[in-house]
């Protein structure tokens, strides 16, 4: 059972996490949701299209202008409160690696801390324990926040992913984070080249078999772009193909830009797997 905020998700229930960037320079939307009103419209649409989690980020993942903890808090904490008032039952996640930001957003009503940089700030998990929030434990290959990989090497990339994410998860439990609120994430692109991310996808079953719910953040990423030689705005098909494979293997949470398209893919995979009935079944009956 996965429990986040007021929501409980069944063992075979796919969960969509919609990305809402509160940055002026995000790689995908180039600041389209930096302003509050535009971001709230994005939240409303994502919820209406089937997102159960809204993931709010105040700092671009890649290199760029430096953003202080104070500025990250300004971009995220008050907005968390607005989303909470507007959508009381939605799960609110905040993408941050800093414990100071985690404190502020938890006080504002966040349900989940999405630590995409692999526990680089050990105090973040302590904040999750203190506030009773969930926690995403990600493999970033030891990379520092907002850096790109350079000649990353692994003897066995999935073995390293398992070592790091399971270690972070067990440490979090030891600190008092709820076991049913912890997810593990292979960290596609983070501290990895394209071949590493493809192998992580191919071997995702090694993560799902651990019993921890697996989150995948695949949406329009560089490994998709390099695999198909497509620019950022032409990566949807590759993203959805990777989503379908990940769903068949057993990933639970999908961090995405395109919610409606992702939901169709997840519904189709679940129906093929016998976990969801077709929405309509008229063929051959009428």
Q: What is the pLDDT of residue 30?
A: 76
Span 235-242, mean pLDDT? 98
CATH architecture, domain 13-272: Alpha-Beta Barrel (3.20)
Q: What is the pLDDT of residues 30-84, one digit of tens each?
A: 788 999 999 999 999 999 999 999 999 999 999 988 999 999 999 999 999 999 9
pLDDT greater than 90 at residue 286: no
Banded model confidence at residue 147, pLDDT cuts 50, 70, 90: very high
Residue 251 in this model has a pLDDT that exceeds 80: yes
Per DSSP, the residues of the chain read -EEETTEEE-TT--EEEEEEE--SS-TTTTTTT-SHHHHHHHHHHHHHHT-SEEEEESS-SSS-S---HHHHHHHHHHHHHHHHHH-TTSEEEEE---HHHHHHHHHHT--EEEETTSSSSTHHHHHHHHHT-EEEEE--TTPPTT---SS---SSHHHHHHHHHHHHHHHHHHHT--GGGEEEE--TTTT--HHHHHHHHHTTHHHHTTSS-BEEE-TT-HHHHHHHT--GGG-HHHHHHHHHHHHHHT--EEEES-HHHHHHHHHHHHHHTTSS--S---TTT-
Q: Confidence band (pLDDT; 50, 70, 90) for 130?
A: very high
What residue spans define the domains of the chain? 13-272
Q: With contact defined as beta carbons under 8 Å apart, do 207 and 177 qualify?
A: no
Catalytic residues: 221, 255
Provide the pLDDT for residue 50. 98
**Residue 1 pLDDT > 90, yes or no?**
no
**185-226 pLDDT per residue, tens:** 999 999 999 999 999 999 999 999 999 999 999 999 999 999
Q: Which two tokens stand for residue 27?
A: 């790689």
pLDDT at position 193: 97
Residue where the block lists tokens 């993560």: 207
Residue range 88-114: mean pLDDT, rounded:
98
Rounded to an integer, the average pLDDT of 4-11 is 96
Cβ neighbours of residue 122 closer than 8 Å, sequence gap 6 or more = none
Give the model's pLDDT for residue 28.
80
Confidence bin at 163 (pLDDT 50/70/90): very high
Residue 29's pLDDT band (boundaries 50, 70, 90)?
confident
Q: How many percent of the chain have pLDDT more than 90?
A: 94
135 confidence band (pLDDT: 50, 70, 90): very high
pLDDT at 184 over 90: yes
What is the reported pLDDT for 144? 93
- pLDDT value of position 154: 98
DSSP assignment of 246-269, as one string? Answer: HHHHT--EEEES-HHHHHHHHHHH
* 232 pLDDT above the threshold of 80: yes
Structural contact between residues 239 and 19, judged by C-beta atoms closer than 8 angstroms: no
Which tops the pLDDT comparison, 177 or 64?
Answer: 177
Least confident of 49-58, 88-97, 140-149, 201-210: 140-149
């Amino acid at each position: 059972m996965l429990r986040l905020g007021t929501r409980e998700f069944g063992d075979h229930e796919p969960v969509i996490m919609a990305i809402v960037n509160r940055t002026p320079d995000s790689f995908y939307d180039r600041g389209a949701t930096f302003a509050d009103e535009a971001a709230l419209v994005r939240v409303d649409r994502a919820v209406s299209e089937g997102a159960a989690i809204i993931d709010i980020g105040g700092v671009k993942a890649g290199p760029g202008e430096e953003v202080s903890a104070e500025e990250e808090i300004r971009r995220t904490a008050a907005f968390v409160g607005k989303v909470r008032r507007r959508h009381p039952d939605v799960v609110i996640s905040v993408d941050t690696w800093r414990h100071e930001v985690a404190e502020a957003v938890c006080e504002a009503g966040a349900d989940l801390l999405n630590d995409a940089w692999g526990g680089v700030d050990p105090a973040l998990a302590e904040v999750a324990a203190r506030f009773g929030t969930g926690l995403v434990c990600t493999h970033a290959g030891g990379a520092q926040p907002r850096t790109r990989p350079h000649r990353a090497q692994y003897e066995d990339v999935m073995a390293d992913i398992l070592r790091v994410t399971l270690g972070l998860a067990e440490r979090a439990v030891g600190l008092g984070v709820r076991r049913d609120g912890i997810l593990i994430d292979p960290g596609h692109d983070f501290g990895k080249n394209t071949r590493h991310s493809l192998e992580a996808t191919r071997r995702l079953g090694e993560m799902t078999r651990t019993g921890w719910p697996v989150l995948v953040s695949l949406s329009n990423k560089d490994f998709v772009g390099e695999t198909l030689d497509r620019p950022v705005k032409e990566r949807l098909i590759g993203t959805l193909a990777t989503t379908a494979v990940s769903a068949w293997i057993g990933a639970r949470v999908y961090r995405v830009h395109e919610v409606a398209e992702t939901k169709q893919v997840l519904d189709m995979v679940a129906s093929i797997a016998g976990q969801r009935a077709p929405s309509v079944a008229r063929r051959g009956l009428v």
